[in-house]
Each structure stands twice: as C-alpha cells, then as structure tokens.
Amino acid sequence: EIAGAQIKIYKGDKAEGTAVESWTSEAGKSKELSLAPGTYTFHEEAAPTGYLKVTDITFKVNYDGTVKVTNVGTKDAKGEDNTVVTDGSTIKVTDKDDDLPRKITFSKVSLGGTEIAGAQIKIYKGDKAEGTAVESWTSEAGKSKDLNLAPGTYTFHEEAAPTGYLKVTDITFQVKTDGTVAVTNVGEKDSKGEENKVVTNGSTVTVTDKDDDSPKAITFSKVNLGGTEIAGAQIKIYKGDKAEGTAVESWTSEAGKSKDLNLAPGTYTFHEEAAPTGYLKVTDITFQVKHDGTVEVTNVGEKDSKGEENKVATNGSTVTVTDKDDDLPRKITFSKVSLGGTEIAG
C-alpha cells in the first residue's frame, strides 16, 4: 500500500459530475467504502511522486457485494494496460513506477565540508564502473552538481582526486522512484585503510575526499640580496612552530644549489643555525606545508639584528630565504712596497 494517491469514485461509467467518494491513500492502509450496487468509475486525480497515474477504471458493485471490472481503462503513459485485480469485494489497483529521471545532487567536499575543485567523477549504470559512463564531470570550487537520473542502481567512480586529496573507491547507490537516494555499497577501504565518507539526504549525495597526508616535494633556496644561491648556511627544519626537539631535516647550503625535501603536510620551523661568513643569520620562520603541496609562511619571525624583518618568499612549493649582508667592519690590511716587494717607510 502506498501513500499519496488522490482518488475519486464517480457514479456511472465516466468521471463526471460530483464524486461520491474521495480520499488520499495512506501507507500500509486500504480504504473501505459503502457503495450501493451499480456502476462506478475509479479515477486517480494524482499519483504519488515517482508513480504513473492510472487511467479511469470502470467497475460494477454486484448485489451480492462482489466487484467486477467492466472496463480496465485506456493504456497508461507507458502504453500499457492498467493493472487492476478484484477478489470478492476488494479492488486492488497498482501504480507503476514512472521511471522518469530524478534530479540528483552530488556534492564533493573536503573534510571541512567545503566544495572542492578538480575531482574527476564518472557515474555508471549498474553496480560496477564498467562500460560507458552515463555522466561525467570535474568538480568546481563551491559548486555541487545536479544530474537527472532515472530510478535504478548506479556506481559513483572518482577517476582522479584533486591534488592533496585521496581518491575515494567506487560507491554504489540507488535512485528510488520517489527521487531519494540510498547508498547500497559504501565501497572498499581507501588507501588509508578507512571507509569512504558518504552521506545521503533526500536527493543529495555528499562524498568527502580526505586529505592526502603523503609527503610533498618542497624546495628551499638560500640566497643573497642579489638572488644568488649562497654556500655555508647551516639550516635545520623542525616539526611544529618552534625550533625544539630533534630536527626533521638539516643541511648546509651550497653555492648555486637549492635543497629539495619531502615534508608531510603540517607546520614547520625554518631555523638557521649559522649564516655564511659576511651574512646575517635569519630568525626562526614558521611555515605550513598544505595538502596540495604548496607552502605558506605563517610567521615571518622576529626582527633580525638590524631590526629588520626576515626576507622570505614562497612560490608554490618553493621557499626562498634571503640572508642579508651583516655590514660589520672587516679587517683590511694595506701593504706599501717597493718594486722589489719590500715594505717601505714614509
């Protein structure tokens, strides 16, 4: 028994005049009426969402209280006969699924719930990602995706995840005749060994891409004010926002060479243990490696011994730190000699 069918009963063989009875069907409940013997027309004013409306059916109430269908009606919107059965005094009328496409909304979000860009998604008919996709798109920042899908079983397949995110495994879902969606298989565990995070709410499917915590390639460049890579800077990288504990990386800069490191997403501190001769040591700089592999300076550090701020720049995954000249007096020796090379007086 389904809810939401708006039904009217008319006296005679047409749905004309004033209905002698009318009601809206309820889930799990049949409807009992008292009808005098004679001919009547069963008219469905409106079918429940997701169902086809039956055409008018004519039936006769006999004097013994039994019912007989005298006209099954014209064919429905599918070109099929109405399905109607009588049993004694009971009439059973079947509403068929309308099989029309339903508007289904897909939302691809980060763990923070924000719509993310760059997820390459395909929808396949059936419980496997096989054959030709019925829909495909690339997610956009701040935007969900609306599709029209007929009732049935489908597979959500993420061809590629955005940079910095894990790809979800295939998820099977069902579009119901009432336009709602149910996940029937959440999929295999992801590369972290965790289940996919997928939620449905009515006709909306929200799939979460988890952060990819794998190390990212980060480049450090130690330069002078002229932008040339300099040698001799002793550098350490610490996990967290302070230069405490054991450094996760350490090296001494080389002339003309940058340094490539693999750092997992998170917060780090750049600490210059010693500057090359003739340069000022920078103060500690805090930076963040993001899940997309880019770097952001979160604290440029205290002012240096000149009372100036550190000079640090980021560009994608590259961090460039400039050592300034220390401007300290240098010991210079002058020698005044003769052509023979002997120091001369006066």
103-130 pLDDT per residue, tens: 999 999 998 899 999 999 999 999 999 9
Is 216 within the bounds of a domain?
A: no
Domain stop point among 62, 94, 126: 94
| The pLDDT of residue 74 is above 70 | yes
One domain, residues 90 and 107: no
Give the domain CATH number at 268: 2.60.40.10
Provide the pLDDT for residue 335. 82
Kindly report, residue by residue over 145-159, the tens digit of the pLDDT.
999 999 999 999 999
Average pLDDT over residues 247-267: 96
Provide the pLDDT for residue 304. 85
Provide the pLDDT for residue 168. 95
Closest by CA position to 304, among listed 273, 280, 325, 269: 280
DSSP 55: P
One domain, residues 106 and 192: yes
Closest by CA position to 248, among listed 267, 223, 229: 267
One domain, residues 122 and 187: yes
Q: How far is CA 62 from the centre of its chain?
A: 61
Kindly report, residue by residue over 278-315, the tens digit of the pLDDT.
898 999 999 999 988 999 999 999 998 888 899 999 99
One domain, residues 163 and 82: no
> 98 is written with which tokens?
């309308």
Asked whether the beta carbons of 14 and 59 are under 8 A apart, the reply is no
One domain, residues 266 and 189: no
Average pLDDT over residues 23-42: 96
One domain, residues 117 and 199: yes
pLDDT band at residue 337 using 50, 70 and 90 as cut-offs: confident
One domain, residues 193 and 232: no
> 60 is written with which tokens?
């006769």
Q: Which comes out higher in pLDDT, residue 327 or 286?
A: 286
Taking the alpha carbons of 92, 30, 87, 37 in that order, is the dihedral positive or negative? Answer: negative
Give the CA-trace dihedral at 141, 146, 151, 156, to 10 degrees. -20
DSSP E strand boundaries for 258-335: 259-263, 266-274, 285-289, 295-299, 311-315, 318-322
pLDDT band at residue 329 using 50, 70 and 90 as cut-offs: low
| The pLDDT of residue 42 is above 70 | yes
Provide the pLDDT for residue 344. 84
List, in order, residues 6 or more apart from 44 with CB less than 8 Å away: 5, 6, 7, 53, 54, 93, 95
One domain, residues 237 and 201: no
Domain stop point among 47, 77, 94: 94
One domain, residues 57 and 116: no
One domain, residues 265 and 309: yes
β-pairing verdict for 234-239 and 259-263: unpaired
One domain, residues 30 and 56: yes
Distance CA 252, CA 25 (A): 80
* Average pLDDT in the chain: 93
3-state secondary structure 183-233: EEECCCCCCCCCCCEEEEECCEEEEECCECCCCEEEEEEEECCCCCECCCC
Distance CA 89, CA 8 (A): 18
| The pLDDT of residue 327 is above 80 | no
Provide the pLDDT for residue 163. 87
Is 333 within the bounds of a domain?
A: no
Taking the alpha carbons of 76, 78, 81, 86 in that order, is the dihedral positive or negative? Answer: negative
In the chain, the N- to C-terminal Cα span, in Å, equals 122
| pTM beyond cutoff 0.75 | no
Q: How far is CA 110 from the centre of its chain?
A: 6
Domain stop point among 94, 121, 156: 94
| The pLDDT of residue 255 is above 90 | yes
pLDDT band at residue 333 using 50, 70 and 90 as cut-offs: confident
| The pLDDT of residue 328 is above 70 | no
| The pLDDT of residue 330 is above 80 | no
Kindly report, residue by residue over 149-188, the tens digit of the pLDDT.
999 999 999 999 998 899 999 999 999 988 999 999 999 9
Is 260 within the bounds of a domain?
A: yes
Expressed as residue numbers, the domain containing 151 is: 102-208
Is 53 within the bounds of a domain?
A: yes
Closest by CA position to 43, among listed 54, 34, 32: 54
One domain, residues 108 and 86: no
Is 77 within the bounds of a domain?
A: yes
Distance CA 338, CA 229 (A): 41
Kindly report, residue by residue over 179-220, the tens digit of the pLDDT.
999 999 999 998 888 999 999 999 999 999 998 888 999 999
Structurally, the chain folds into a number of domains equal to 3
How far is residue 273 from each of residues 201, 247, 276, 281, measured CA to CA in Å?
Answer: 55, 11, 10, 8
Of all helices (H) and strands (E), which one includes residue 99? Answer: none
Distance CA 289, CA 16 (A): 74
DSSP 282: P
Neighbours of 230 (CB within 10 A): 21
Average pLDDT over residues 231-251: 97
Distance CA 54, CA 293 (A): 59
